[in-house]
């Protein structure tokens, strides 16, 4: 407590033994450091770590374990996902994805939590989806949604996302998908 003398009843305020005993307890049980640690490590999603992010993940409904797509396959632009590559760059698809479960680091998990939290409050409009993308990928390059005007939309990235980001975008299911709209993904880096 900051000023324990204000909590002592006036009839006991002049007792040196009682006042020293209360002051010693106050110094021993000062919770301000624990409160600051709890705020920084659990409550504040921007600085939370470990257990704190696990709590936030349960609140918004995402798991720290994510299926990472680790291999690109031979594909063409119309493949509609982020796992295709050109001739002599990637093997043929054999019918089974080469994925593995991966425990996200705190930074990757924080980005997934932000994506899910923003998706939870999104109204599904292009403006809202663009706001989510610019928030999630700030400082990495342009990211936006292109409306195909035929009940289709494309998430466009003007930078190359990391493997974790590709899995957040494509495998986690947290980016909003309006009902009845087909979704594709495109990387258009220079």
**Domain spans of the chain?**
4-41, 51-187
Q: Which of 156, 129, 128 is nearest to 142 (CA)?
A: 156
- Region 77-84: mean pLDDT is 50
Consecutive H or E run containing 36: helix 32-38
The pTM of this model reads: 0.66
Give the pLDDT score at 138. 86
Which residue did the predictor score with more confidence, 7 or 134? 134
Write the pLDDT tens digit of every residue in 21-42.
888 887 777 777 888 999 999 9
Give the pLDDT score at 58. 94
pLDDT above 80 (res 73): no
Give the pLDDT score at 78. 45
Match 């005993």 to its residue by tokens.
Answer: 21
pLDDT band at residue 4 under the 50/70/90 scheme: confident
């Amino acid at each position: 407590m900051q000023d324990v003398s204000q909590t002592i009843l006036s009839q006991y305020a002049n007792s040196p033994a009682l006042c020293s005993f209360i002051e010693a307890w106050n110094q021993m049980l000062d919770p301000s450091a624990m409160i600051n640690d709890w705020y920084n490590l659990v409550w504040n999603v921007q600085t939370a770590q470990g257990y704190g992010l696990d709590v936030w993940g349960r609140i918004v409904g995402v798991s720290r374990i994510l299926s990472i797509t680790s291999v690109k396959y031979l594909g063409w632009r119309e493949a509609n996902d982020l796992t295709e590559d050109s001739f002599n760059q990637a093997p043929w698809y054999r019918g089974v994805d080469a994925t593995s479960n991966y425990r996200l680091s705190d930074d990757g998990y924080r980005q997934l939590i932000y994506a899910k939290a923003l998706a939870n409050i999104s109204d599904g409009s292009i403006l809202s989806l663009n706001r989510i993308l610019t928030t999630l990928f700030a400082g990495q390059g342009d990211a936006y949604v292109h409306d195909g005007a035929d009940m289709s939309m494309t998430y466009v990235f003007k930078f190359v996302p990391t493997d974790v980001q590709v899995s957040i975008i494509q495998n986690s299911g947290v980016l909003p998908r309006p009902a009845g709209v087909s979704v594709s993904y495109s990387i258009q880096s220079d």
